[in-house]
Chains A and B, each alone.
Chain A
Amino acid sequence: MILAKNLTLSYDNKKNIIENVNFRIKAKEFIFISGSSGSGKSTLLKSFYGELPVSRGNLFVNKYDLLKKDYGKLLALRKDLGIVFQDYKLIQDYTIEENIMLPLKVHKYADDVSKQQVKKLLKHVKLSHKVGAYPAELSGGEQQRVAVARALAHNPSIIFADEPTGNLDDYSSDMIWTLLKNANEHLGITVVVVTHRIPKDLGIKFRRFNIEEGVVYEAS
């Protein structure tokens, strides 16, 4: 599912953030990537969906080689991913419904099917009453729940989440973890989460990668 071979990442080919690392993530796994601030956790995650280009080595996500700069294939890969950002990245002039619908629209789902799916997801994240609201009218926790709903909308094969609970209160954090856990456990979606705060009682099997000084190693 994700395979890194001698992977090196850097910004503008200056200092290497991640250097010569190798790892493999299998389908349906739940993965945590942790490390101290500035260690390169988010950098590594960005490279998984092509926001940051691979400097050297190989990185395969769903068999797509991210070293190749094929824009069309990269978009096809992204269509099959769900991404949750630390800053939510909701479109401010779209309603909550329209934001969740975004990946479904990209996939050209029929409007009625999309609306049905959004309704289901909003119920799931306990935001049914906010269907017509705009992101600015929601709290941080609510916005992140919308972001998770958006990431789940099109049944992706992998969800990447970058510090999904970084700025949230305990109630919202718990809900986000439950949503990600259920996605992995019940829908078989591979989940890769970057976080510096791994929940203690997640209740599922997971692997954890730690990043230190540009090196990725599997922590026990």
Chain B
Amino acid sequence: MKLLKSFFSFTFPIIVMLVMFSIYLVVTKVVNNYKTNITNDYAIVVIANTPLSAIDTLAGIEVKDIEPLSREKIIKSVKDNLSDTSIDLLQKKLPYFYKIYLADFPTTLTLEKIRKELMTISNIDKVETFSNDHNKLYSLLILVQNIIFILFAAVLLLSVLLLSKQIKIWFFEHNDRITIIQLHGGSLLYSSIPIIKVMVMSSFFSSIMSSIILFVVISNIHFIVEPEIMTLIPSVLSMELEIAQIFLLSLIIPFITFFGLLVKYKLK
């Protein structure tokens, strides 16, 4: 019973932390998926008085494509109402229109930087970033992602505190053995091998539990979220990489806590 209690005192904070991390990973995946979709549709329109030369990056974002808008099409659309002289004049005076596609979806602030950067190019007369229509839902998703990250960081901190408390209890419980091994020349790390073994087992158990929880949630996501929100969620949520990250985190955090305590004991 005591052993079980001690085991769960260690695994519970890890599981909570990993579940929170899984939520963060899922939200990040949804946001990234949505971002890819809107990035493909989004373009900045630029009006220039001479042909535009190549632009590689704007405010640190790679320029994916610069697509010139056909001047003939524009003239054709207004041609019926104009005389031949006016059309000639229009052909001479009509500026060059371009659609700039970016590799990444910019934030509102970045958009303003991009606009300013484009306006520094001498032949550009006007820039239309459509900042008013700039995606509000994306901003909201980013906000949710940030909130979840803050929550995850708080849970992580709390978990580290609980884990360190449990590791201290284990050190206390194994004090006799640790002392005897050290008196025979064994290092603190060597004498702590039984603690490390329990820790690795607990971490494995926690990562398996968290992966199961994540798998169940993903498999039944259509029962959990509203149908409108389902459109935001990638149709195939493959979680192999996320499960690997969960597994790594379940080992890294207890080990960092353990080695932190080991250093503390060693300094003592």
Cβ of B76 under 8 Å from chain A:
no
Cβ of A119 under 8 Å from chain B:
no
Contact of B190 among A77, A91, A106 (CB under 8 A): A106
Q: A79 touching B184 by the CB < 8 A rule?
A: yes
Listed residue (B181, B185, B186, B266) with the most chain A CB atoms within 10 angstroms of its CB: B185
Q: B185 touching A103 by the CB < 8 A rule?
A: yes
Q: A49 touching B183 by the CB < 8 A rule?
A: yes
Interface size on A, residues (CB 8 A): 22
Cβ-Cβ contact count across A and B, 8 Å cutoff: 44
Contact of A106 among B177, B179, B186, B266 (CB under 8 A): B186
Q: B180 touching A78 by the CB < 8 A rule?
A: no
Cβ of B182 under 8 Å from chain A:
yes
Task: Provide the residues of chain A in CB contact with B186, threshold 8 Å.
Answer: 75, 102, 105-106
Q: B187 touching A91 by the CB < 8 A rule?
A: no
Chain B interface SS verdict (over half): helix
Q: What's the minimum C-beta distance from B48 to chain A, rounded to whole angstroms? A: 70
Cβ of A193 under 8 Å from chain B:
no
Task: Provide the residues of chain A in CB contact with B176, threshold 8 Å.
Answer: 89, 91-92
Q: B184 touching A71 by the CB < 8 A rule?
A: no
Q: A71 touching B183 by the CB < 8 A rule?
A: no
Listed residue (A51, A92, A102) with the most chain B CB atoms within 10 angstroms of its CB: A102
List residues 176-207 of chain B with CB under 8 A from any CB of chain A: 176-177, 179-187, 190
CB 8 Å contact bits of A61-73 with B (1 = contact, 0 = none): 0000000000100
Which positions in A face B, CB cutoff 8 Å? 49, 51, 71, 75-81, 83, 89-93, 102-103, 105-107, 150
Which positions in B face A, CB cutoff 8 Å? 176-177, 179-187, 190, 266
